[in-house]
Amino acid sequence: MNLVELAIRIKGLRKARELTLEELAGRTGLTGSMLSKIENFRVTPSLPGLSRIAEGLGVTLSELFEGLDERPKLTVVKADHRRRLSRDDSPWIYWSLAAGPSGRVMDPFMIEIPPGEQRREAAAHEGEEFMLVLEGPVDYVYGCETHQLETGDSVYDVGNEVHTLVNRSDHTVRLMVVYCNPR
């Protein structure tokens, strides 16, 4: 199952019902902070958590998952039809390069980081990650190490180590990032 698509669906259903995170939290027993992390694909909820979210949104678990297991053999996303994803109030812009199919092993994104920006907090996650700097430079902070990357440089990360990106330049940095979902 594509967890990014599930997160997008949860957020879309909440907004369609005009619920705030706090209102949905009151219906589910989960915190607003946890729901935000789920919606922004930073945390994967447990099945009981998903059940409570579905109930809070007024849908069944089946309805929440409906269509997420459909997997076409080919997905073509034209540059002018990429889906823009937002995470919290982050100034970073995420563009899905393969929106739609679920059950993928990989989730490719283009990320744009405005000048002087970095993620509010470094994060670790399961699954492997490949990154190619399309327009740099950018600092890749991996644990206690900082790697200065230029256009054309790449990183392959096997996961579970705290890391982040920092744009110290005066122009927008663009990266292609491919997340490999844990199996």
Q: What is the mean pLDDT of residues 34-63?
A: 89
Question: Exposed (0-12), middle (13-18) or buried (19+): which is 178, by Cβ within 10 Å?
Answer: middle
Contacts of 145 (CB under 8 A, 6+ apart): none
pLDDT digits (tens, 9 = 90+) for 77-132: 788 888 887 766 778 888 888 876 556 678 899 999 999 988 767 777 778 899 99
Overall domain count for the chain: 2
The model's pTM: 0.61
Say if residue 85 is in the same domain as residue 165.
yes
User: Strands across the sheet with 145-149, in order?
Assistant: 145-149, 138-142, 163-166
- What's the rounded Cα separation, in Å, for the pair 119 and 109? 16
Say if residue 59 is in the same domain as residue 94.
no
Of 179 and 28, which is predicted with more confidence?
Answer: 28
Say if residue 92 is in the same domain as residue 154.
yes
Find the domain containing 51 and state its range. Answer: 3-65
Question: Would you state the pLDDT for residue 102?
Answer: 56
Residue 72 belongs to a domain: no
Say if residue 58 is in the same domain as residue 110.
no
Structure token digits, residue 176: 């292609």
- What's the rounded Cα separation, in Å, for the pair 86 and 77? 18
Say if residue 121 is in the same domain as residue 40.
no
Residue 132 belongs to a domain: yes
Q: How far apart are the first and last CA of the chain?
A: 10
Mean of the per-residue pLDDT values of the chain: 86
Structure token digits, residue 177: 């990032």
Q: Over 60: is that where the pLDDT of 45 sits?
A: yes
Residue 73 belongs to a domain: no
Q: Examine the fold and report which residue of 65, 98, 113 is the final residue of a domain before the chain moves on.
A: 65
The domain that holds 13 is classified in CATH as 1.10.260.40
Q: Examine the fold and report which residue of 33, 65, 97 is the final residue of a domain before the chain moves on.
A: 65
Helix (H) or strand (E) holding 73: none
Structure token digits, residue 131: 């990154």
Of 123 and 71, which is predicted with more confidence?
Answer: 123
Question: Would you state the pLDDT for residue 173?
Answer: 97
Work out the number of other CB atoms within 10 angstroms of the CB of residue 86.
13
pLDDT digits (tens, 9 = 90+) for 152-178: 999 998 877 889 899 999 999 999 999
Say if residue 53 is in the same domain as residue 120.
no
Specify the 3-state DSSP secondary structure of 145.
Answer: strand
Say if residue 101 is in the same domain as residue 39.
no
Structure token digits, residue 37: 């992390």
Q: Over 70: is that where the pLDDT of 49 sits?
A: yes
Say if residue 40 is in the same domain as residue 90.
no
Residue 70 belongs to a domain: no
Residue 161 belongs to a domain: yes
